[in-house]
Amino acid sequence: MTSDTLRFSRPVQLREIPPTGRHFIVETNADERQAVAQQLGLPAIAALSAKLQVMPFRKDGLAVDGTIHARLTQVCVVTAEPFENEVEAPVDIRYSPDGQDPNADFDLAELNDPDAEDPPDLLVGDSIDLSAVVSEFLALALDPYPRKPGAVFEEGDDKAALSPFAALNTLKNKDS
């Protein structure tokens, strides 16, 4: 299968959501999990599902809250061996036509309070794709330096040999 044939899409139209909200259970098939694994640079995803609540947000926006569960394969940064890992991640995102475009430039000085609530993302058109929400929040939940349980990085006995100046020191001693 090429990347063009791998698809994962769950569009939700704004008009589909009643004032009380709507519950969605996102279950993925093998092709969809392969597409997400490829997108996130993972060897494999054995299971990926989400329980999401989509509610109206302000006058013409949407809010998505819920949980993502995944059973996936990652590669250990210590041993370079693949290992199975389970990830459970919370989802909390808002969309609004007057929201912030995630691709737009921003001023770091405006980020005064790191604990402040994020502004809503820009709602383009009248729909969102829950697959993008699931993929994004799964990516955010992944450990960027995954370690196989029990894997420990052990330094060599000769710490001086690991020094970036060890080779220079060897050259200096040869000249003397």
* 109-152 per-position pLDDT tens digit: 666 666 777 788 888 888 999 999 999 999 999 999 998 887 77
Q: Long-range contacts for 65-70 (Cβ within 8 Å, ≥24 apart)?
A: 65/91, 65/92, 66/24, 66/90, 66/91, 67/91, 68/134, 68/137, 68/138, 68/141, 70/45, 70/138
In this structure, what DSSP letter does residue 12 have?
Answer: E
Higher pLDDT, 84 or 160: 84
Domain ranges, ordered by start, for the chain: 11-175
Rg for the chain (alpha carbons), in Å?
23
The pLDDT value given to residue 98: 82
The pLDDT value given to residue 54: 97
Q: Predicted confidence band at 25 (pLDDT cuts at 50, 70, 90)?
A: very high
* 59-113 per-position pLDDT tens digit: 889 999 999 999 999 999 888 899 999 999 999 999 998 877 666 676 666 666 6
The pLDDT value given to residue 2: 42
Check pLDDT > 50 for residue 37. yes
- Tokens 């993008």 map to which residue? 132
The pLDDT value given to residue 108: 63
The pLDDT value given to residue 15: 93
Kindly state the tokens that stand for 109: 């000085």
pTM of the model: 0.77
> What are the φ and ψ backbone dihedral angles of 123, each rounded to 5 degrees?
-90, 115
Q: Are 20 and 135 in contact (CB under 8 A)?
A: no
91: nearest Cα among 63, 124, 119? 63
